Structure formats: structure tokens, C-alpha cells
Amino acid sequence: MLFNSIDFAIFLPIVFLLYWFVANKNLKLQNFLIVVASYLFYGWWDWRFLSLILFSTLIDYSVGIRLSKEDNISKRKILLWISILVNLGFLGFFKYYNFFLDNFVTAFSFFGTPINAKGLNIILPVGISFYTFQTLSYTIDVYKRKLEPTKDFIAFTAFVSFFPQLVAGPIERATHLLPQFYKRRKFDYVLAVDGMRQILWGLFKKIVIADNCAAFANQIFNNSTDMNGSTLVLGAIFFTFQIYCDFSGYSDIAIGTSRLFGFDLKQNFNFPYFSRDIAEFWRRWHISLSTWFRDYLYIPLGGSRGGTWMKVRNTFIIFIVSGFWHGANWTFIVWGALNAIYFLPLLLTKNNRNNLVIVAKGKFFPSIKEFSFMLLTFGLTVFAWIFFRANNIGHAVSYISEIFSSSLFTIPEVLPKTIILLTMIFVFIEWLGRESQFAIAHLGIKWKSPLRYAMYYAIIVAIFWFGGKEQQFIYFQF
């Protein structure tokens, strides 16, 4: 079920009313309703893959229980590895099987030993990368004794399958989300209103900005050989806004929806395109994934401790794995490596933690220096997104080659003025709200009701007016 679908618009109020009017007196019933709603939400897409989620849930729940009874380090390790292998096994099979097969075949052919192997026609279960990481965080934290294993199977099932963030995050940590299932939720008016505002803003980002930018980004990327350099730059910028608004829009709707049910999810995006360097960008982009990799991969590998070589190695590993997490294609790996190259100079010169607070905090305008660094970081990000969006490495290279040709200085062949104007308005609103959790979190809060309502209606009208046909979220494929 898509957040931007009529199905969801019908589903959400029904679940909301049942949750607060039927199940509100009983914690078990609240959790059970969430499980049923979540399985229905996921099964709406393809019910067959519910068995995968259920299996992962059973494995990790059982491993957790066994870990609580086991003190022997070797046996604890075995239990941990069972969970890791099962979860990453599913992920590896569904997402990477054909990629590895293709590359093995190519490699063997290259070394003069051609082999015959056919790929499988595998459907990638929606959200597998997200819930796999979420459930893994539970086992690892229990193994590290950071978290008491749960004995409440329903609560655990609800944690793994919690519908607002099941298919595209934010990837929640068990330490943060699971305890929320142990307490009966009470309706909080302020939280719910805040949730509704965040849902509204998320829908605006997805439907108005992302979907409209997508139409032009697709047109340009799909016909890149026929386009001039300036159009290709525009195409990359459209994709830059598409991916941000698509993904952060989803996160906003997920967080907002969770608030309606009395849950607090972690912020996943914190105005990344206002970053002054790549390190800051990565502290603000897909925060739940970056911190997951930091805590469960980077730090166990040694992090920033050790010599220069260790730092370089660990940085490359984390960025390449992060790229590979996004998809089984070399383009994602190059995208990850490119970001590592951007990041390394900052790490090695110890400048990676220079910009910890949002740009121009408390001010309206940034300084010229801040603006220049923002522009530079944005440019580097746009460049890296070309690899992310391209069909293959050859496509990315030819795309970039055409950008750096004399045609860069010609008038773009595609110039959708309405979308450009809408995107500029969007950037302006994001700039105004950059110190909040989401752009309109505080916008208009102190305005008189008619004015505030006018703002809501303006956003709603924009959603209906500029919205096209419902489009899937990009991150569903990851």
C-alpha cells in the first residue's frame, strides 16, 4: 500500500479509529491491532512475502530469548550468527543473487573460462533492506547486552512490522522503538496535530516536488544521448530534488503517521542540501541508515581509531557497503566510493565535525562563505547522484562527458518553468524551517487560525493540483 494512494487514505482512518476507540484500553490489543494492520498494509502489495517477515520475526525473537539464557560466549556468537545469516541470507538471495551470478559469469569469461549460468527471475520483496536491518539491530543489541530481550512476541512482531516505517524506514533501533510497545499509548493532541502537519508536508514533497521532478529527470536520463549539456545538468538537479523529496517525504509521512498512534520515530533527514560539507551532508541524509552503519559496521571495524590506513579502509568500506545496500548495481557502488572520496579529506584533516549545527542558525541569510560551501557541497552531491540514477556505469560516464562539453553553455532543451518555480518555493520553505524537525513544524503555528488554515489549504490544493498519477516511492526498490 502506498502512502500516496486512496487505499491508504481509507486504511489509515479505519486503523486510527479502531486503535483509539476499540483497542485504547488494552496494551496487548493495541499491539495486536498494529500487527494486523501492518500485515494487511504489507500484504496489500504482495501477501506471499509476509512469510519472510514472519520468519525473520520468529528467528530473531527466538534468538533473543536464547541469548537471554546463554552466558557461554561461543554459543552466544553462534546464536548471533544464526540471526545474521538468516536475515542477510534472505536479503542476499532476493537482492543480490543475480548481481553476483552475472559478475561471476563475466569474471570467469574474462579469465578465459566461460561458464553457463542463468539468473533467476526474482521479485525483490518491498522494504526487505529496511526491516532486515531493523530486526538485526535487535539481535545485535541483545547480544551486546545493550537491550533486554523481549518475551512479548506480539510487541516484537509489532516492532518488526510497524506499518508506518516497514517498507522504507526510518530504520528504527530496537533500543528506541521496542520499549514504546511495552507501554500503553495515550492519545496526545499536540503530537497528533504535529503528525498531521508532517504527513501533509511529506505528501507535498512526494506528490508535488518528487513526482513532478521525476517526470523530467526520467525524460532527460532516458534520452540523455539526445540532450545537450545544460539539459543534462538540469536532469541531474531534478533527480537530486526527486530523490530527496521522495525519500524524505516518505519519512515525514511515516513519522507523522506514527505520531498519530502515539509513537516517536527518529528524524531521518535534517535538511541535507543545506550542508556545508559532505560530512555534514551525511549527518543529515538518511540518518537512520548512516547511524546504523556507523554503530554496527564502522565502529566494530575500528572506526576512526588507528592509523591513516585504517581510517581510509573503514571509510571506504562503510560508504561502499552503503552504496551496495541501495541496489545490486555497480552504479551504487561507485556512488558510495565517490562519497568516500569526498569524505576522506575532511576525515584525514580532522575537519569532518566542523559543521554540527544547522547553517546560519538564528539568522535569515547565510554568510557568503557558508553559501559558497553549501553550493559546492550541493554540486558534489548532484554529481554523485548521476551515478546513482544512471542505468549503468557507461551511461553515467557518457552523461557526464556530455555535461563537460561545449553544449553546457547552450539553452536547456527541457525547461519546465512551473516545476522550477515550485521547487524554488519548496527550497525557500525548507530554508525557513531548517531549524525545526521538518520544514513546516513551526511555520504558521502562531498565526491566526484563518491564516494558518489558508496555509494548510494552499498545500492541499497544491497536492491535488500539481499531483500526477500516484507513483511508487524510489526507496521501495532498495
- List of residues contacting another protein (CB under 8 A): 6-7, 10, 20, 187, 189, 192-193, 196, 453, 456-457, 460, 464-465, 467-469
Contact criterion met (CB below 8 Å) for 70 and 151: no
Long-range contacts from 2-5, C-beta under 8 angstroms, 24+ separation: 2/470, 2/472, 2/473, 3/202, 3/203, 3/206, 3/250, 3/253, 3/254, 3/257, 3/473, 4/203, 4/206, 4/207, 4/467, 4/470, 4/471, 5/470
Q: How far is the CB of 192 from another protein (least distance, A)?
A: 5
Q: How far is the CB of 8 from another protein (least distance, A)?
A: 12
Contact criterion met (CB below 8 Å) for 126 and 164: no
Given the residues 176, 286, 326, 395, select the one marked as catalytic. 326
10 versus 451: smaller Cβ distance to another protein? 10
Angle between helices 393-403 and 330-348 (to 10 degrees): 60
Q: How far is the CB of 356 from another protein (least distance, A)?
A: 36
Q: Alpha-carbon distance 347 to 358, whole Å?
A: 20
Q: How far is the CB of 92 from another protein (least distance, A)?
A: 31
Q: How far is the CB of 190 from another protein (least distance, A)?
A: 10
Q: Alpha-carbon distance 289 to 41, whole Å?
A: 23
Contact criterion met (CB below 8 Å) for 273 and 177: no
Residues 6+ apart with CB under 8 A from 234: 216, 220, 412, 414, 415
Q: Which residues of 27-64 are buried (b: 16+ CB within 10 A; e: fewer)?
A: bebbbbbbbebbbebbeebeeebbebbeebbebbbebb
186 versus 361: smaller Cβ distance to another protein? 186
55 versus 457: smaller Cβ distance to another protein? 457
In the numeric block, the cell 508506518 is attached to 164
Q: How far is the CB of 191 from another protein (least distance, A)?
A: 10
193 versus 376: smaller Cβ distance to another protein? 193
153 versus 456: smaller Cβ distance to another protein? 456
Q: How many residues does the chain have?
A: 478
394 versus 468: smaller Cβ distance to another protein? 468
5 versus 351: smaller Cβ distance to another protein? 5
3-class DSSP string for 48-85: HHHHHHHHHHHHHHHHHHHHHHCCCHHHHHHHHHHHHH
Separation in Å, CA 142 to CA 14, 69, 77, 82, 132: 35, 11, 11, 14, 16
366 versus 467: smaller Cβ distance to another protein? 467
Q: How far is the CB of 33 from another protein (least distance, A)?
A: 16
Task: Tell whether omega for the bond before 170 is within 30 degrees of 0, i.e. cis.
Answer: yes
Q: Of 333, 185, 202, nearest to 255 (Cα)?
A: 202
Q: Alpha-carbon distance 46 to 408, whole Å?
A: 45
Q: How far is the CB of 23 from another protein (least distance, A)?
A: 13
Contact criterion met (CB below 8 Å) for 42 and 161: yes
Q: How far is the CB of 256 from another protein (least distance, A)?
A: 13
| Residue 176 appears among annotated catalytic residues | no
Q: Alpha-carbon distance 316 to 302, whole Å?
A: 13
Assign 468 to helix, strand or coil.
Answer: coil
Q: Alpha-carbon distance 57 to 361, whole Å?
A: 43
189 versus 309: smaller Cβ distance to another protein? 189
Q: Provide the annotated active-site residues.
A: 326
